[in-house]
Chains A and B, each alone.
Chain A
Amino acid sequence: MVSVGMTKMLRLLGNLIRGGSSPAKAVVGSRNYADFASEASFDVKKCDLHRLEEGPATTVVLTREDGLKYYRTMQLIRRMELKADQLYKQKIIRGFCHLYDGQEACCVGIEVAIKPTDHLITAYRSHGYTYTRGVSAKEILAELTGRRGGCAKGRGGSMHMYANNFYGGNGIVGAQVPLGAGIALACKYFEKDEICVTLYGDGAANQGQIFETYNMAMLWKLPCIFICENNRYGMGTSVERAAASTDYYKRGDYIPGLRVDGMDLLCVREATKFAADYCRSGKGPILMELQTYRYHGHSMSDPGVSYRTREEIQEVRSKSDPITMLKERMLNNNLSSIEELKEIDANVRHEVEEAAQFATTDPEPALDELAHNIYCNEAAFDVRGTNPWIKYKSAS
């Protein structure tokens, strides 16, 4: 897939790295942005459809500007999650930590297809969404390390991060789905043309409350995009062992659905645009199944190899990695260069390092704020501590 010009460039770069001969430098330096294409077209996998006459476009356009933005965002999430892995192994992050590396195309593809005024809710594998919904890597890592600069001031940790129009981060499997439909009900009630994206995993897809929610969302035509992120495993249980029907995109029954290649950001983007238009037109809910994969185990306490093979993980990494896929598309279509992408990589690394630095040096939350925000808009009151003589003040 690598062109002749690319091979030449790589050789030159190789020389540059090895010894830095000025001709190579000159060649690199003379490449300017006017040489890049402004956009390119790509074919994406056709989505399987359920109760839909037609689906999302299969030929999509990617602009150079968007491509760079998507690349940076996915790369940052990847690096942030790997940094979290590192910090967890150093015992600086505690408790639960469910990492998202491998699934970046989902959260980024969804976010770029909806508006900031739309709403989104997901379950506990939520760091990627927290980032795409507007929280900085710094605040995310500081929340994971339990510091006062964390986005939830250290109260929530990995599973309870929130932002404007982002309702977490939810720890009870499946409970976020009725919540999402409730947010969609509010969208319809307020008549502001907003929608709610409600995510759940292949494991959660068997929760009864999800079917209750499908029913009410359809009855009341709620503007809700239900999205099942199918990463093939609910904790250690593969989809074949958990579900009598693994066609998750059909399990909304009367709700139209589509099955999407969740490793291809452009496919996710097109499908989400399609789904968002559907919801906004007042037709009611729609269901998307994103076929994706997580490289890490279920959480940091799961090596992730007792229920699947290392070969499988390696195969997905080498053939379907979402960042590699975007990178190759951009390089092969002259939307960017290796140097430019490497510069982005370095920039991302730097940002994540700084974020980690903050997250490991910021002080822990103050003890006298322990009881704050139990209630909203409440006059201060005393809260009992671990013995009758310890009292905390609760402010709102």
Chain B
Amino acid sequence: MAALKGLFCGGKNAFGVLSRRDFHRSTLAAVQLTYRDALTHAMDEEIERDETVFLLGEEVAQYDGAYKVSRGLWKKWGDKRVIDTPISEMGFAGIAVGAAMAGLRPICEFMTFNFALQAIDQVINSAAKTHYMSAGAIPVPVVFRGPNGSSAGVAAQHSQCFAAWYSHCPGLKVISPWSAEDAKGLLKSAIRDDNPVVFLENELMYGVPFEVSEEIQSKDFVIPIGKAKIEKEGTNVTLVAHSKSVGHCLDAAVALAKEGIDCEVINMRTIRPLDIETIEASVMKTNHLLTVEGGWPQFGVGAEICARIMEGPAFNYLDAPAVRVTGADIPMPYAKILEDNCIPQVKDVIFSVKKVLHV
């Protein structure tokens, strides 16, 4: 805890802090890496690797990032590669898209995706559609990244999940990592991808440490976009989630295992393109499906998964209707008791699994 605090407040170089931490070390060359540091490493490595990569956004340079995700980058790379913008989302998102059209690979940070609504026209109409409209003449290799979804106590205007909004649009890729491994490998892939990518982070995940292997620490570690990962294999029910909800599903799986229910937990990693094949294969094995997400239920990520399952081969393998666990259909309230009941919790997953399995 103290070490984490050091990371937040220290203003120290992220890379130096790690070696001085007293985390539990496994016997292999695995190391603890926070989701946040994974993102920092990814950006640092890609800025080093490719001279056309640069970062722009509010407070990314001299403030080290509103959520410290870009800590140390400006000091290391300077004004050309890490650019502080004024509070002008529509303007700087458009500038990022234009720069991408002209051969650069910008990383455009939105302080949260709630503010990206100001700029959403540039993401959809300028970034997503241009390669298609130009019949391949103009690629747009831009990454839009920032925290998405609920935080803690930040109320309605700062808590919305936009996964469904962006995933609705062809031409975009939409990624929602859960672990440090996801964050690092997918952000590197996103930056290397020649298409516009919306990279949805989670503020509550930033400080969470994960054990990562040597392979993940390497500068060449990338994860393919569009492929889900089975975090835990199981036989009774398929749980599909993205971002923070993956952790809830794994926690629920531990609790349910004690009651003899064996869950398979799928971490979507990418929302668009959606890896329906992995989900179908799992459902054909477990015969039960539950989707879990932080966003609102109507027209959400889970709704899309259920519709596709209905239309595909896995439908005939369902022993019960597929069900969604989602955020409550309410603008996010502030008071803790109210907020806690608007965000899907582990108990919601456990309760819903038992309902689906009729136990």
- Considering the complex, give the chain A residue whose CB is closest to the CB of B52: A189
A175 touches B194 (CB 8 A): no
Contact with A along B65-83 (1 / 0, CB 8 A): 0000000000000001001
CB of B135 closer than 8 Å to a CB of A: yes
* A160 vs B132: C-alpha distance when bound (angstroms): 10
CB of A47 closer than 8 Å to a CB of B: no
A183 touches B101 (CB 8 A): yes
A162 touches B137 (CB 8 A): yes
* A155 vs B170: C-alpha distance when bound (angstroms): 15
Residues 125-175 (chain A) with a chain B CB within 8 angstroms: 152-153, 155-156, 160, 162-163, 167-168, 170-172, 175
CB of B16 closer than 8 Å to a CB of A: no
B94 touches A209 (CB 8 A): yes
Q: Specify which chain A residues have a CB less than 8 angstroms from the CB of B136 in the assembled complex.
A: 372-373, 376, 396
CB of A243 closer than 8 Å to a CB of B: no
Partner of B94, one of A152, A179, A396: A179
A179 touches B132 (CB 8 A): no
- Considering the complex, give the chain A residue whose CB is closest to the CB of B89: A212
CB distance from A204 to the nearest CB of B (A): 13
| Interface size of B as a range | 35 or more
CB distance from A364 to the nearest CB of B (A): 14
Q: Specify which chain B residues have a CB less than 8 angstroms from the CB of A77 in the assembled complex.
A: none
CB of A377 closer than 8 Å to a CB of B: yes
CB of A297 closer than 8 Å to a CB of B: no
Q: Which among A33-41, A85-93, A213-221, A304-312 touches the partner chain? A: A213-221
- Considering the complex, give the chain A residue whose CB is closest to the CB of B80: A189
- Number of A interface residues at 8 Å Cβ cutoff, please give it: 48
Partner of A376, one of B88, B91, B194: B194
Q: Specify which chain B residues have a CB less than 8 angstroms from the CB of A189 in the assembled complex.
A: 54, 80, 99, 104
Q: Specify which chain B residues have a CB less than 8 angstroms from the CB of A121 in the assembled complex.
A: 98
Contact with B along A40-70 (1 / 0, CB 8 A): 0000000000000000000000000000000
Known: A186-B103, A215-B91. A179 touches B97 (CB 8 A): yes
Q: Specify which chain A residues have a CB less than 8 angstroms from the CB of B54 in the assembled complex.
A: 189
B86 touches A374 (CB 8 A): no
B98 touches A181 (CB 8 A): yes
CB of B139 closer than 8 Å to a CB of A: yes
Q: Specify which chain A residues have a CB less than 8 angstroms from the CB of B138 in the assembled complex.
A: 162, 167-168
Q: Specify which chain B residues have a CB less than 8 angstroms from the CB of A177 in the assembled complex.
A: 94
B170 touches A216 (CB 8 A): no
* A174 vs B171: C-alpha distance when bound (angstroms): 22
CB of A254 closer than 8 Å to a CB of B: no
Residues 311-336 (chain B) with a chain A CB within 8 angstroms: 311
Partner of B311, one of A153, A172, A388: A388
* A163 vs B101: C-alpha distance when bound (angstroms): 12
CB distance from A210 to the nearest CB of B (A): 9
- Show 24 A/B contacts (Cβ-Cβ < 8 Å), sorted by A: A152-B133, A155-B135, A172-B125, A179-B94, A179-B97, A179-B101, A179-B126, A180-B98, A184-B98, A185-B99, A186-B102, A186-B104, A209-B88, A209-B90, A212-B86, A215-B88, A216-B88, A372-B136, A373-B134, A373-B135, A375-B195, A376-B131, A376-B194, A381-B273
Interface residues of A (CB under 8 A from B): 119, 121, 152-153, 155-156, 160, 162-163, 167-168, 170-172, 175, 177-187, 189-190, 196, 208-209, 212-213, 215-216, 219-220, 372-378, 381, 383, 388, 396
Give the 9 A-B CB pairs with smallest separation, nearest first.
A182-B98, A178-B94, A212-B91, A186-B102, A179-B98, A212-B88, A182-B95, A376-B139, A153-B135
